Amino acid sequence: MNESQESELAVQYEDVERARERLDDESVVKRTPIERSTSLGEVVDADVYLKMEHLQWTGSFKTRGAYNKISQAVADGADEFVAASAGNHAQGVALAATECGADSTIVMPKHAPQAKIDATRSYGATVELVGRDFQEAMEYAQSYAADHDVEFVHAYDDPAIVAGQGTLGIEMHEDLPEVDTVIVPIGGGGLISGISTALDHLSPETRVVGVQATGAQTVHESLDKGVPVTLDTVDTIADGIATGGISELTLDLIEAHVDEVVTVTDSQIASAILLLLERAKQVVEGAAAASVAALLSDDLDVGGETVMPLLCGGNLDMTMLQTVLIHALTGRGQILRLRVKINDMPGKMTELSGIIADHGANIQTVRHDRAVEELNVGEAYLVFQIETSGIEHAAAIIDSIEAEGYDVEDVNRE
């Protein structure tokens, strides 16, 4: 892209600089730290530094863009705002509006995590739950803005929002000027658009990599077609990047400034959440963990580099955390489900339980299945859920049960 084409982009580095001046208030947006992760670095043979934006006041980066937008609008006379959000943008808008002395109404999907609903209300917003997903919430919020003549605050399709998010790019550069690669989650694209605008100006040699969840990926197809692509439905545990579409504004900026985009599965995201809990002692949501999932994936080579994955949000619903942990532990073999065929007579459960106990494993649950068509009269299945230390431990348990003459199925692997 030549200079004249770049000058036509809706957001310039100067816009990001001005946003940073507006955000020079630690009570609204604080400078979040970076932390070196030697454990992640050993896995990928790189020098890894985590940008800890999940430690922001609202638990995510969203206040940056919201405050940049709302503070300017209030200065121009606006006093009421409406937004649609799955959670993080909601809290950012709520806090920014309250700090600026304005009212806010936030429209969230009906399935939005309760923790994010409660947090949004705590920052002073009125919350309305509408629609099955982000798109339906968005449609309602835009209609509400038109009907009530109030200012609509888009989550990503707004130059002021993008410029505000771009202040993170300045921080990331100042934190680690020698960084070779930064990894940024992509939902609607506002975050990566702002960060890449800043980094392309401050450090053009730094590689900017975007990451999307496979169940909500739109960037590759949008770049191929040259127009924003919107999904009818999205399917990912990473609700913070489950927008299902980008905008023309963010598409242009991604095309101009982003070097590469990769995708990760929900299983990879779940594993990254668990890894960050264990190794970095950080609780992050799926959108944030996506950057670490990309770091660990085969699609991204960072060997020998200095790398900064962005942990963009920490608002992880505890119900989702439970679901993620069970999934990730099952994938590691630390939760093992076995179905063992037995002759249905007294003592079999005791015998099998003893074999499992001999391996130092804990039985969480066990049940009899007798009403199964494939079983002969007098046969049954015992289905165990067992805690193990990992795949090798699980394999040893299975081998011991088989050695006693039982037919065993690892239900996890079906």
- List the CATH number of the domain containing 396: 3.30.70.260
- Whether residue 407 lies inside any domain: the answer is yes
The pLDDT of residue 5: 57
- Distance set, CA 78 to CA 75, 120, 209, 401 (Å): 7, 21, 36, 71
Q: For residue 182, report the phi and psi dihedrals to the nearest 5 degrees.
A: -115, 145
Classified as helix, coil or strand, 241 is helix
Q: What is the CATH number of the domain that holds 191?
A: 3.40.50.1100
- Whether residue 49 lies inside any domain: the answer is yes
- Whether residue 160 lies inside any domain: the answer is no
- Whether residue 381 lies inside any domain: the answer is yes
The pLDDT of residue 1: 53
Q: Do residues 96 and 43 share a domain? A: no
Structure tokens at 263: 């995708």
Structure tokens at 383: 């289905």
For the chain, which ranges sit under pLDDT 70?
1-6, 413-414
Domain end position, chosen among 282, 306, 328: 328
Q: By residue range, what is the domain housing residue 12? A: 3-59+166-328
Q: Are 137 and 116 in contact (CB under 8 A)?
A: no
Output b/e per residue, 362-394; b: 16+ Cβ within 10 A. Answer: ebeebeeeeeeeeeeeeebbbbbbbebeeeebb
Q: Domains in the chain: how many in total?
A: 3
Strand partners, 105: 82, 126
Residue with structure tokens 């990894």? 183
pLDDT digits (tens, 9 = 90+) for 63-87: 999 999 999 999 999 999 999 987 7
pLDDT digits (tens, 9 = 90+) for 210-248: 999 999 999 999 999 999 999 988 899 898 898 889 999
Q: Do residues 314 and 202 share a domain? A: yes
Q: Do residues 111 and 201 share a domain? A: no
Q: Which candidate, 102, 105, 141, 148, places its Cα nearest to that of 125? A: 105
